[in-house]
Every structure is written in structure tokens, then in C-alpha cells.
Amino acid sequence: MRLRFAPSPTGYLHIGNARTALFNYLLAKKHRGKFILRIEDTDIARSEKEFEKGIIEDLRWLGIDWDEGPEKGGDFGPYRQSERLKTYREFAERLLKQDKAYYCYCSKGELEQRNKELLARGESPRYDNRCRNLTKNQGIEYKLEGRRPVIRFKIPERMIEINDLIRGKVSFDTRLMGDFIIMKSDGTPTFNFAVVVDDILMRITTVIRGEDHLSNTPRHIMLFEALKAKIPEFAHMAMTLGPDGSRLSKRHGATSVREYRRLGMLPEAFFNYLALLGWGTKESQELFTKEELIKEFSLERCKEGAAIFDIEKLTWMNGLYIRKKEPEELVRLSLPYLKEKGLGGEEDYLRKIIVLERERIKKLSEVPELIEYFLVEKIKFDPEAVEKVLKRPEVKEILTSLKQELENLSDFSAGSLEKTIRNWTKNKDLKTKDVFHPLRVAITGRTVGPGLFETMEVLGKERVLKRLKGAERKC
Ligand code: GLU
């Protein structure tokens, strides 16, 4: 099996396209076939090198690797359409020679006018095949007028049926279509033509792509037939929608893989979540390793209905993956986010902090805010906590006295701290909550966090005493 992902570098890798890449990749790997990356950059005005680079980086980040493609090479390259223009011209020539294509001199304005007329009559706009039977002389005349022709494909009139691997039988009546352009007047191919020529030459056996391409498929099939090539199998995946059922857009939040990378999603989590967008096992299993996905994936279990991209679920899943990470690795992954906020610390100290906070991290971008109080000299106090907890009349005395008790404590481990503070509370005839709450606010500035004694152990004696002193001033 040979499958391909064929992005157009007109933007960064969109969630929907990343899923297309993933499904092609999974199926290729499952059948020990080849996965090919092809850059479809014939739209010169909209394609950018920067986007191509970005797409490649994001695919690599996701853990999707290809057997053939730009930079990597392969037997059927080049894998960038802009480097294959000569080939498309040759194929178009072939169709012209066989009378399966023709030059069309109609101008944009003329076409627009005719489409307007069709619309006014309640018909859908399409080319009226006017230049199909031009005489040689008419062609020469048009050329002399300075018109630059496009090349159109002569559509055979018939029904076309495809057996889509996800959607089943779908049929199209070509009588409703006009002859379509395969080569533009600037000598570059149209998307429909380049795709087919490349799928033929790159020996693609299976095309998995978004449903938005379904209406192009009959055109592709006619071209495969005209070029006497084997037609690949097709699988059109339903679109990805936002939670409100409308097409996924900026309105729903980030839509590119890059943005989720920045937010601190882990590639493993993202890979896993993407696979569940429109696919699932009978048992509705949610967590999969890459190897499991390669083993389990099948087009039969792809859903025909739209997939809903739910950021909350992705975030939840990311949290699960974060919890499975070794603390050392989590520290390494968090460092860029900390640095961005001007935070940092000794590796060993950071590791201990991360062990404490790991359960609460849902994405790496939350790490700085979550652990900031461990890393700064002057902690920020939650004003409400100061008001409701520290300002209570008895608190100042409790903190002062507790500070003295802790000054004499040599074993500052969580166990020893708990025993000491509980005993002290009991001896003073106080309730635990009346001591623990102010103590937490005093040393962290917040009302919630990981275990109080574990937090104190990680902060260490010196910091804890300093913070108690500082908090006294707030009481
Ligand atoms: N270049 C097309 C796109 O980005 C994909 C074409 C295809 O998969 O056939 O939508």
C-alpha cells in the first residue's frame, strides 16, 4: 500500500489536516506500506516556504514520519509540485494529442457573464464547453487578439460511481459538470490535474482525505481513466467540527497544531486524541499508544458522521499523559515555559516541585503559574485569602508561635513536620483547620495546592521561616 499526505502550504498545519495525515500514516504503517509526503505548492500566490517548513516541523513533532518526501527523497520524486511542472505539461500534451483535452480562450469576464446568465435562469454555473470544437483559424484569431488559453479536459458524459471506503457508494452525473481546466494560462496545473498526475506517478494505492474533496473525485476518476492509469481506492473522512456543530474555526479556539504545541500539549496526547476524531474501537477505548493505534486502526471503523473537536477532552487527555511522564522529563519540557516567564531553579528542586504538582498540570503552559510560588523570593498573595484567612484576629499569634516551634525542628521532612505541627496544634487546644489554613496561605499565598507538609518539605526550612515572617506583616 502506498498512501500520501498532500498538504498545500498556504497556512500552518490545521487540526483537520493533521488528522488526515495521521489516518494515512496509521493505515500505511498497519499494512507495512509506504507513507509519502507531497507538498502541493502550485498555488504560487498563496503558498509560502515558511508554511511548508512549519507543516514539516509540526508533523515531526506529532511523531508522524514519512518514507518518501521533500528533503528525504525517494524513487518517485521530486515531492514538491512546484518542481514537477514539466511533468504536468507533458501529461497535458498527451491529453491534447489524444483529443481528450483542448485549448480554451474564454476570458474571465466572459465566463463570469455566462455564469451570471445561468444563475439567472436558475441553473448552476458551469462551463458551456464552448471552445471544445474551435476551428484552427478561430484559435489563431484568439491568439492574435492576445488571449492566453487554458487547457480544459473533455468530460465524457456518464454516471461515475465510487465505492468510498468510509461512505460506501457515491455516484455523480458528469452531465452536470462543465469541462474543467487542467492547465492554467500561466502554464501551471490546476489542483485537480496535479493531484492525479502525481498520484499516478507516485503509485498511490489509497487516498484518504477530507470530505471537502469528495466533489473533486469524479473529475479525478475521469482523469485517471483518460490517462489509462489504475484508479486508487478513496476514503473521504467527515469534517471536523467545533463543539457547537459548526465547522471548526478560530471562534472555537486554536485550530492549528502549532498553537496547541505552544499551549503545551504533549505530542503523544495530541496523536492519541486526533485518532479518536472520527474513529474508534468497538469498546470505545480512549487511551492508545502509537503502536496500539497502528495495530487497531481501520477504515471500516471510521465514522461517516462529523467529528467533534473538543478542546476540553484533549486537555483532559493531555493531563493524563503528563501524569505518566517521568519528573525529569516534565522538568525538561516545562523549562521553556518557565524561562519565558523569567522563572527557573536548580534541577533537583524543580524535579521535587513537579512531583508535587504533576497531578494538577493539564498543559505545560500552566506550569509557571502553578509553581511560581516555589520559585520566587516574594510570593504573590491571593487578596481574598489574605482577607478571609490571614486577617483573622488570632492568626498572627498562631503564625508567630508556630514559627518559633519550627525554628527548633531539625528534621524538616513531611512526616516530621506533620507530627510536630499536629502535636503543637493539639497542645495549644486549636483546631487543625485554624492552623493549617493560615499556614498554607502564609507560605504559598494561596488557599489550594498540594499536600501542606509535602509543600513545606520541598520549600525547605529556610524559605518556610522566611515566608512565615513575611506573612506576619500581612496579618
Ligand atoms: N492539497 C490538498 C489539500 O491540502 C489535498 C489533496 C488531496 O488529498 O487529494 O487539501
**Residue 440 forms part of a structural domain:** yes
Residues 6 or more apart whose Cβ sits within 8 Å of residue 449: 373, 440, 455
Out of 181, 215, 237, a domain closes at: 237
**Residue 51 forms part of a structural domain:** no
**Residue 245 forms part of a structural domain:** no
**209 within ligand 1 shell (Cβ under 6 A):** yes
**Residue 391 forms part of a structural domain:** yes
Catalytic residue among 116, 250, 295, 469: 250
Q: Give the Cα separation of 422 and 426 in Å (integer).
A: 6
**Residue 66 forms part of a structural domain:** no
| C-alpha radius of gyration, the chain, whole number | 32
- The number of distinct structural domains making up the chain is 2
Out of 212, 237, 262, a domain closes at: 237
Give the tens place of pLDDT for each residue, 390-403. Answer: 999 999 999 999 99
* 6 CA → ligand 1 middle, Å: 5
Percent of the chain with pLDDT over 90: 94
* 58 CA → ligand 1 middle, Å: 17
- DSSP output for 60-75: HHHT---SBBTTTB-T
Question: In this structure, what are the phi and psi dihedrals at residue 361, rounded to the nearest 5 degrees?
Answer: -80, 125
Question: In this structure, what are the phi and psi dihedrals at residue 435, rounded to the nearest 5 degrees?
Answer: -100, -45
- Domain that residue 163 falls in: 84-237
CATH assignment at residue 475: 1.10.10.350
pLDDT digits (tens), the chain, 475 positions: 999 999 999 999 999 999 999 999 999 999 999 999 999 999 888 999 999 999 999 999 999 999 999 989 999 999 999 999 999 999 999 999 999 999 999 999 999 999 999 999 999 899 999 999 999 999 999 999 999 999 999 999 999 999 999 999 999 999 999 999 999 999 999 999 999 999 999 999 999 999 999 999 999 999 999 999 999 999 999 999 988 888 888 888 889 999 999 999 999 999 999 999 999 999 999 999 999 999 999 999 999 999 999 999 999 999 999 999 999 999 999 999 999 999 999 999 999 999 999 999 999 999 999 999 999 999 999 999 999 999 999 999 999 999 999 999 999 999 999 999 999 999 999 999 999 999 999 999 999 999 999 999 999 999 999 999 999 888 8
* 8 CA → ligand 1 middle, Å: 7
Out of 202, 237, 272, a domain closes at: 237
Which CA distances in Å does 263 have to 61, 136, 170, 340? 14, 61, 40, 13
- The CB density around residue 466, as the number of other CB atoms within 10 Å, is 15
CATH assignment at residue 217: 3.40.50.620
pLDDT given for residue 243 in this prediction: 86
**Residue 113 forms part of a structural domain:** yes
**Residue 278 forms part of a structural domain:** no
**219 within ligand 1 shell (Cβ under 6 A):** no
Compute the C-alpha angle 194/197/202, nearest 5°.
Answer: 115
**Residue 392 forms part of a structural domain:** yes
